[in-house]
Amino acid sequence: MIVLQGVSKVYPGGIKALDDVSIEIPEREFAFLVGPSGAGKSTFIKLLIRDEIASSGRVFVNNQDVGRLKHKHIPLFRRKIGVVFQDFKLLPYKTVRENVAFPLQVHGILDWKVLQPRVDSVLELVGLPDCLDRFPDQLSGGEQQRVAIARALVHGPLILIADEPTGNLDPNTAWEVVQLLIKINAYGTTMLMATHNREVVDMLRRRVIHIDHGRLVRDEKEGAYHAA
Amino acid sequence: MIVLQGVSKVYPGGIKALDDVSIEIPEREFAFLVGPSGAGKSTFIKLLIRDEIASSGRVFVNNQDVGRLKHKHIPLFRRKIGVVFQDFKLLPYKTVRENVAFPLQVHGILDWKVLQPRVDSVLELVGLPDCLDRFPDQLSGGEQQRVAIARALVHGPLILIADEPTGNLDPNTAWEVVQLLIKINAYGTTMLMATHNREVVDMLRRRVIHIDHGRLVRDEKEGAYHAA
Amino acid sequence: MRPRMLLFALQSALAHCRRNKLMSTFSVTTTTVMLLMLGCFIVVITSLNVTLRALESKIDVVAYVKDQADPAQVQNLRDSLSQNADVESVRYVDKDTALARMRQTLGDKAQLLSQIKGNPLPASLEIQLRFASSAPALADQLRQEAAIEEVDYKQDVVGRLLAITSFLRLTGLIIVAGLGAITLFIIINTTRIALFSRRQEIEIMKLVGATDWFVRWPFIFEGTFLGLLGAVATVILIAAGYQPMLTHLSGLLTFLPLAFDPQFLPKLLLSLLAGGALIGGAGSYISVRRFLDT
Amino acid sequence: MRPRMLLFALQSALAHCRRNKLMSTFSVTTTTVMLLMLGCFIVVITSLNVTLRALESKIDVVAYVKDQADPAQVQNLRDSLSQNADVESVRYVDKDTALARMRQTLGDKAQLLSQIKGNPLPASLEIQLRFASSAPALADQLRQEAAIEEVDYKQDVVGRLLAITSFLRLTGLIIVAGLGAITLFIIINTTRIALFSRRQEIEIMKLVGATDWFVRWPFIFEGTFLGLLGAVATVILIAAGYQPMLTHLSGLLTFLPLAFDPQFLPKLLLSLLAGGALIGGAGSYISVRRFLDT
Ligand SMILES: Nc1ncnc2c1ncn2[C@@H]1O[C@H](COP(=O)(O)OP(=O)(O)OP(=O)(O)O)[C@@H](O)[C@H]1O
Ligand SMILES: Nc1ncnc2c1ncn2[C@@H]1O[C@H](COP(=O)(O)OP(=O)(O)OP(=O)(O)O)[C@@H](O)[C@H]1O
Ligand SMILES: [Mg+2]
Ligand SMILES: [Mg+2]
């Protein structure tokens, strides 16, 4: 599903964010991406959705060479992926309802009779049934984060990528969200979650991909947050 | 230092974020503000710096009635406080160096010969010695958060308020930051930290102010994240 | 599916305008001010053109008839002139009328004429032209006629008048074209600046899988809508100000044949509406493209 | 401390312009286009005013002298007229010269004159005025003179000319004032739209303890700087285009006394520079205030 072959990413200014990373994440896997702040986790994720392009090496997602996607094929490619961005990236002038509905609308589902139940149910799942008509800046940090999660889920993507999705959530809500992600993974969605939440990683014992200073330093099938 | 007397906050749309909260935080205290997502922690903090005004009740900070501050007295009032915002609020067109120097410049310290060593040392403290000339959008999430922390510290405020300052940091970096805050508190700065980091709260055993649905539900001298 | 998508884009556009009233107001006022300026100049310059045409039409060509000319020939000439498309009217002034006129013109110096024997003044054909520009050709043609002694049409004055009027017409055209280009540029530039603050929104939409067109349409509709709003305001202002302005101007310039085309106003207002909507939409299209490419 | 703070604000402003080149370019081009438009109109209308003055100065008043008038009296009158500030020149045309002229004017019809006994034509004073507007008063004054039979100054033509020129002057003034107001509005509105995307920055600065003025100064300097840049571009374009334009126009309008004031251009360019900087700075000041109040 996700394959990186000797991928490096150097940002303008010569900052090396990823350094010769090769990895393979098969379909239906649940993988954690861990590493200290500034290790290159978000950069890794940006490469997967072509928010950035690798400086060298190749990135395959869904059997497509992401770096060589034609401009017009990018939207269709991205619609098969759901992403929770570290900085949420909610649309400021759209309500919560419209933000969550957006990935479906992009798919061509424009009838609110069809959209409404799906939006409602996914907001219910993340614990936000009451703020449908508010704008993102009228929500608390954790509420915004959950809207971002809801938006990533709503269209049932093949791959779900979450960048630090519990950073603004209290432990209980964080656990509920993680349970939800596990359930979604169990139904067949490939999961990649960049996180600093040691508790969650240590408890779940799933695959752990550990990067540090842009290098892959550990890749364990049933790993913990810190190296054993 | 911080006194709330029967404070309520109702946002436009009738959303009650704080409900009759009375509390007192004396000078030099280190207090945690905990509660589930949407409990009202950030609203609490916004009232302290007059980012929002209480719908009823009175807020005193530094013996000043925050709600009744005259417009022209607000800047001087705010300069005595350092705030780490949940969403960082870095200035996008200023470099890291300039962002961190800004609170000092606001104080009238404009000479880079004076600014430079202070900015350097505080960035060193938060573990970011190398990105002085980058802009916020060229930093990772955790790096941005640490710049925000550096900016809150740099002018040696009387009160340091941090809203979820470790949400984007790995456990090690988070601990370093917390140690730093403890040290600063030990030198006499009053600390208020809104957090979801159970580990940190449980380890430090400081005062815990717990709010839920806008109500004060627990206030313990040496509390844990969850009620005993 | 396609019309559905456009409807969705329209709804999104209107929602954004409603939610961001301040910014929408700024865009609309810029459009209104620029279109109003353009519209006023078009009104003035169009009126000027009508006035110029009126000025030109006042040009006379006088053909002096030889005393010995054959009256039938002269009559023929009159008839053929009457049928000439360039000619507004022809009048035959016989020798006696000419003398009577001269007497009148001289007033109390008319006794000078009594000292002159006979009538030295020739008969003439006074030809009023539709357009001054046809004067030289007609004069040349008349000079060929056997019955005509001499042709007089104030060559000098007509030349100047034509030079002035064609210069004024050209100037008017240049001004309107120039102001049109400036209006276009300012509205598009304003749209660019306004959209600059929304480049993150555009980026987010693309990251969530929106196609370029899915992103574009709401912006195009928004630009069209705001442009149309600005044009509506302009149209209201011009429609309300047109009549009072005309009356005032006519009062001020009694000696100038200020003429106005009654069918012109609705045409202008419709053009302004279409123009406002078009520029607004096109401006958004162009501006969004810049942020889509990245 | 104070000048230090201004220096800091200036540095911040320049840094922002450098870091946000796209937006700065948009602002500058809007300023340039609007000032260029205003500048061109000012150039044209100022030239028009000079031309109008030239047209007006061509007005003559002719005072016919009584045949029986005392030559000394006439000489007196000539002298006093020469000293009149409104009078450009005075010329005495005696009866013989008048007759000679008439003969010349009549050309091959001059033999008519030989039938007239004596010289019926009066001597006259041909007075060229500096300004047409003084004609009626002077004519009235001359009519009081014992030596003067009659005064002729084409009352009708002068009236029309004065009406036209004063109307054109007024129109020019209205156009320049109107375009000035529009330029002001558009630049300020553009600044508002540009700053709209920076309201969060302003909010952050205030949250960190900046005073209103500490926030404002960099924006004012930025507006001033961008306005000045826009004006510099305008000035370069006008300075480069002025001479070729003049030459072209003069070629086109040989019959019109197109006159240009050589000291006018530097004045205009300086005003544009000052105006651009001022409007830019004031626009920023006004726009920032809106976001400070909240
Ligand atoms: N646009 C950019 N330009 C330059 N450097 C960048 C840019 N984005 C990220 N970096 C740098 O690349 C490195 C990796 O960043 P990245 O965001 O991938 O880290 P991360 O693992 O997500 O960290 P965090 O846990 O703090 O979010 C960091 O050192 C960061 O400073
Ligand atoms: N501007 C606003 N308008 C309306 N409601 C708001 C606004 N800001 C916050 N709220 C609501 O007020 C409540 C408290 O919000 P607040 O941001 O204080 O929560 P919090 O405790 O900081 O949560 P988190 O841990 O998720 O950051 C929430 O229900 C939120 O939806
Ligand atoms: Mg990251
Ligand atoms: Mg919060």
Per residue of chain A (228 residues), what is the pLDDT tens digit?
A: 899 999 999 999 999 999 999 999 999 999 999 999 999 999 999 999 999 999 999 999 999 999 999 999 999 999 999 999 999 999 999 999 999 999 999 999 999 999 999 999 999 999 998 899 999 999 999 999 999 999 999 999 999 999 999 999 999 999 999 999 999 999 999 999 999 999 999 999 999 999 999 999 999 999 999 987
Q: Could you say which of 3.30.70.3040, 3.30.300.30, 3.30.565.10, 3.40.50.2300 is the CATH number of the domain covering D60-153? A: 3.30.70.3040
Mean pLDDT of chain D: 86
Question: CB B86 to CB A141 under 8 A?
Answer: yes
Q: Quote the CA–CA distance of A119 and A187 in Å, as a whole number.
A: 19
Q: How distant is the Cα of D170 from the closest Cα of chain C, in angstroms?
A: 11
Mean pLDDT check: name the lowest of B133-137, C75-79, D216-220: C75-79
Q: Quote the CA–CA distance of B75 and B71 in Å, as a whole number.
A: 8
* Digit-coded pLDDT (tens) for C223-241: 999 999 999 999 999 989 8
Which among B72, B106, B111 is the nearest to D209, CB-wise? B106
Residues in chain C closer than 8 A to A72 (CB atoms)? 211
- Higher-confidence residue of D69 and B203: namely B203
Distances (CA, A) of D288 to B52, B148, C29, D103, D180: 20, 25, 19, 78, 22
* pLDDT of the residue at D107: 66
Percentage, residues of chain D above pLDDT 90: 42
Mean pLDDT for the stretch of residues B163-184: 96
User: Among residues 77-116 of chain B, which lie with CB inside 8 Å of chain D?
Assistant: 78-79, 81, 83, 85, 89-94, 98, 102-103, 105-108, 110-111
Q: Quote the CA–CA distance of C144 and C139 in Å, as a whole number.
A: 9
| Residue in chain A lying closest to C214 (CA) | A106
No. of H helices and E strands in chain C? 10, 4
Domain boundaries, chain B: 28-42+72-220
Q: Using DSSP, state whether D63 is helix, strand or coil.
A: strand
Q: Whose CA is closest to atom 1 on ligand 1?
A: B138
Q: Quote the CA–CA distance of A30 and C291 in Å, as a whole number.
A: 35
Pairing of strands B2-11, A64-65: unpaired
Q: How confident is the model at residue C27 (pLDDT cuts 50, 70, 90)?
A: very high
Q: Cα(B125) to centroid of ligand 1, in Å? A: 19
| Residue in chain B lying closest to D206 (CA) | B75
**Residue in C112, C186, C195 to test binding to D, most D beta-carbons within 10 Å:** C186
pLDDT reading at D120 higher than 80? no
pLDDT reading at D111 higher than 80? no
Neighbours of D83 (CB within 10 A): 9
A165 has a chain B CB within 8 A of its CB:
no
For tokens 């239906």, what's the residue? A28
Domain boundaries, chain D: 3-55+161-293, 60-153
Q: Quote the CA–CA distance of A225 and A32 in Å, as a whole number.
A: 9
Q: Quote the CA–CA distance of A80 and B26 in Å, as a whole number.
A: 53
* pLDDT of the residue at A76: 96
* pLDDT of the residue at C264: 83
Mean pLDDT check: name the lowest of A106-115, C64-73, D161-170: D161-170
Q: Using DSSP, state whether A34 is helix, strand or coil.
A: strand
Q: How distant is the Cα of A108 from the closest Cα of chain B, in angstroms?
A: 32
pLDDT reading at C255 higher than 70? no
**Residue in D35, D108, D197, D287 to test binding to C, most C beta-carbons within 10 Å:** D197
- Mutation test residue for ligand 2: of B9, B18, B33, B43, the one with most atoms within 8 Å of CB: B43
Q: Cα(A174) to centroid of ligand 2, in Å? A: 17
Percentage, residues of chain C above pLDDT 90: 42
Q: How confident is the model at residue D75 (pLDDT cuts 50, 70, 90)?
A: confident
Q: How many CA atoms lie within 13 A of D85 on its CB side?
A: 0
In which order are the strands placed within the sheet that holds B159-163?
Answer: B81-84, B159-163, B190-194, B30-34, B207-212, B215-220
**Residue in D6, D20, D195, D208 to test binding to B, most B beta-carbons within 10 Å:** D208
Q: Whose atoms come closest to the Cα of A196: which ligand?
A: 1
Question: CB C211 to CB A78 under 8 A?
Answer: no
* pLDDT of the residue at C256: 60
* pLDDT of the residue at B88: 97
Neighbours of B213 (CB within 10 A): 14
pLDDT reading at D260 higher than 80? no
Neighbours of C93 (CB within 10 A): 18
Pairing of strands B215-220, B207-212: antiparallel
Percentage, residues of chain D above pLDDT 70: 89
Mean pLDDT for the stretch of residues D69-78: 86
Q: How confident is the model at residue C242 (pLDDT cuts 50, 70, 90)?
A: confident
Q: Cα(B62) to centroid of ligand 2, in Å? A: 25
Highest mean pLDDT among A67-71, D55-59, D69-73, D81-85: A67-71
Q: How confident is the model at residue B97 (pLDDT cuts 50, 70, 90)?
A: very high
Q: Whose CA is closest to atom 24 on ligand 1?
A: A37
Q: Which CATH architecture has domain A28-42+72-220?
A: 3-Layer(aba) Sandwich (3.40)
Q: How confident is the model at residue D89 (pLDDT cuts 50, 70, 90)?
A: confident
Cβ atoms B31, B208 nearer than 8 A: yes
Question: CB C26 to CB D163 under 8 A?
Answer: no
For tokens 């913990």, what's the residue? A224
* pLDDT of the residue at D58: 65
Mean pLDDT check: name the lowest of B79-93, B138-152, C83-97, D183-197: C83-97
Complex-level ipTM: 0.90
For tokens 């709503």, what's the residue? A154
B172 has a chain A CB within 8 A of its CB:
yes
Q: How confident is the model at residue B191 (pLDDT cuts 50, 70, 90)?
A: very high
Tell which phi-psi region holds residue B20, choosing left (phi > 0), alpha (psi between -120 and 50) or beta: left
Pocket of ligand 1 (CB under 6 A): A 11, 13, 15, 17, 35, 37-43, 86; B 138-143, 168
Question: What is the reported pTM?
Answer: 0.88
Residues 6+ apart with CB under 8 A from B106: B75, B79, D205, D208, D209, D210, D211, D214
Two structure tokens written together for D117 = 């006994």
Neighbours of D14 (CB within 10 A): 14
Instruction: Give the end-to-end CA distance of chain B in Å, rounded to a whole number.
Output: 27
pLDDT reading at D57 higher than 90? no
| Interface residues on C facing A, Cβ-Cβ cutoff 8 A | 1, 4-5, 7-8, 15-16, 19-20, 200-201, 204-212, 214
Residues that place a CB less than 5 A from ion ligand 4: A 140-141; B 42, 86
Mean pLDDT for the stretch of residues B92-96: 96
| Residue in chain C lying closest to A83 (CA) | C208
- Mutation test residue for ligand 2: of B11, B46, B196, B217, the one with most atoms within 8 Å of CB: B11
Question: CB D193 to CB C192 under 8 A?
Answer: no
C192 has a chain D CB within 8 A of its CB:
yes
Q: Kindly state the greatest CA–CA separation across chain C.
A: 105
Two structure tokens written together for D199 = 């309201």
Q: How distant is the Cα of D3 from the closest Cα of chain C, in angstroms?
A: 32
Mean pLDDT check: name the lowest of B168-172, C114-118, D63-67, D262-266: C114-118
* pLDDT of the residue at D34: 97
Q: Using DSSP, state whether D129 is helix, strand or coil.
A: strand
* pLDDT of the residue at C142: 85
- DSSP code for A166: T
Cβ atoms B222, B207 nearer than 8 A: yes
Mean pLDDT of chain B: 96
Distance of CA C41 to the CA centre of its chain: 9
HEC states along chain B? CEEEEEEEEEECCCEEEEEEEEEEECCCCEEEEECCCCCCHHHHHHHHCCCCCCCEEEEEECCEEHHHCCHHHHHHHHHCEEEECCCCCCCCCCCHHHHHHHHHHHCCCCCHHHHHHHHHHHHHHCCCCCCCCCCHHHCCHHHHHHHHHHHHHCCCCCEEEEECCCCCCCHHHHHHHHHHHHHHHHCCCEEEEECCCHHHHHHHCCEEEEEECCEEEEEECCCCCCCC
Instruction: Determine phi and psi for B86, rounding to 5 degrees.
Output: -60, -35
Residues in chain B closer than 8 A to A134 (CB atoms)? 13
* pLDDT of the residue at D259: 57
